[in-house]
Structure 1
Amino acid sequence: MIIALALSASLDVTYEVDELKVGDITRPFAVTRVAGGKSLNVARSASALGADVRAVAALGGATGEWLASMLAADGVQTVVVPLSRVTRTCIAVVESAESATSTDLYEPATEFDAGEWDAFAAAARIAVAEAVARRPIPWVALSGSVPSGVPLAGLGELLGDLRTAGARVAVDGSGAGLLATAQHADLIKVNRREASELLGVELASANDACHAVRERYGADVVITDGVAGSAALIGTVASAVAPATRLGRFPAGSGDSFLGGLLAAFERGADAADALAAAADAGERNALVPGQGILADPE
């Protein structure tokens, strides 16, 4: 089982336009909306690949209620922790010209108050306890930014408690949030820039970053590096993942789909090489269609 901890959920909107007219009106010819934020993108992609997925999601206001209904339609079972503030919206604008980038407008993660954080932590502990009772050694996935009001020390303590309870923890983040959680992770999946920031030193390649993060934290490591591909240290196996061969127009969410594909493969018992191949395929398929964490049909 995979339990996605969605602290920073969002309504993710993708606008497809012929050309973005800065300072003028641009009318999209297609709009895609999903229940997003990195952890929910992980959950949706892993579920689409057949994994048994649960989400613990902090959601607020009418937008949060809409996201809960979207998750239900996606087949992702979700424990909702109510927030008093309205869940944020994030926008990706994709132009018609062939490109592997988009113009993104991301609101800050929705703020928590102290009682909401306590409720979220309690819900996460219950979800893991239930998962361990049903099927030993679930994965817990924590991805994305850490909202204001979530104590970094408390978040690290929560992950440590979930590991003690029997879960394996995968983290994908940046900045202070990654620094607070990396020491509690069994798997760290970040990009090369985030790894450099974590260690406070410029790392020249994904391979260098893998070894440096492993040496510091002792966890399994996957480092993505854009068009240069990815590198991984999983157990004693060092692997390189070739650059994508299918460069889609919708890159937002590809890293999350990569992690969802990786954990879904681990859940079904795949070895490191097969899991990384499945992860790379999921990331590529995400970029081929609009909507973060939505995968194009396999070829």
Structure 2
Amino acid sequence: MDWFSEFPHMNDESLRQFKLSIDNAFRTFTRNYGDFIEGLFAPLSKFLIWAERLMTQTPWPIVLVVIVAIAWLASRNLRVVAGTMVTPLLIGYFDMWLDAMRTISMIFVCTVISIVVGLPIGIAMSRSDRLQRIVSPVLDVMQTMPSFVYLIPVVMLLGIGRIPGLIAVVIYALPPMIRLTDLGIRLVDRDVLEAADAFGCSKWQKLRNVELPLALPTIMAGINQTIMMALAMVVIASMIGVQGLGQPVLKAIANQYFTLGIFNGLAIVGIAIIFDRVSQAYGERLQKHREIVHG
């Protein structure tokens, strides 16, 4: 027996008309406001082009020295620094340097945007339980929505290109930044906050000098997860014109080039490991410093 046949539902024609009306409304919105929305993202396009040119046109020894220096300052761990040095050298040896630099520039821009957008939202959520109840379901949808779905509205609004891909990546990678900022501030010791109030700190002074520094290890974990999710979206975003290591992987899938796909996939994994180890090491150093201060 077909149990679902007894379930009340919209008939096929009504359902088709309903979907068609939504599609037509979105197309009308795109035709009327697409150019305006595209203009809003012009500064973002300039930022992405600047970051990409910086990474691709700077001589590779300088880029390598800067990456290694950042790894040392963040981790103070020789194994992490050694891995950070060897991985880019291998990527360059196998002729994937330019694509890797484009990918890194995309991840850098996505991470900066996620921090700029996610940090204030997370702070606001930590201040208001009501706002947290409103925003949390939205974040749940953003995290569970299949990543391919994000490409549909941005392509309809902005067409094919790097900016639509960037927006799709940011939407996919933003939730951890918001959630862990909210969590980190909520976990700040209430006794410390009461002491700050006793010294007459304003809300801004308390946030800047007490809450954010103490929540920084948790916020760094959010940045780490944002970077990982952005890297996971790189291959998918290459379907709509995002340059980098994702495009060779897409080409390998389309043409069954096993070696091309494996090598570029391993390059993405190598970049992910560098970002992960460096950001984790920095978060652990912040956590140890916090324990020493409060110990």
The structure whose RCO (Cα within 8 Å, separation 6+) is larger is 2
TM-score (norm 1): 0.24
Greater helix proportion: 2
TM-score (norm 2): 0.24
Greater C-alpha Rg: 2
Greater strand proportion: 1
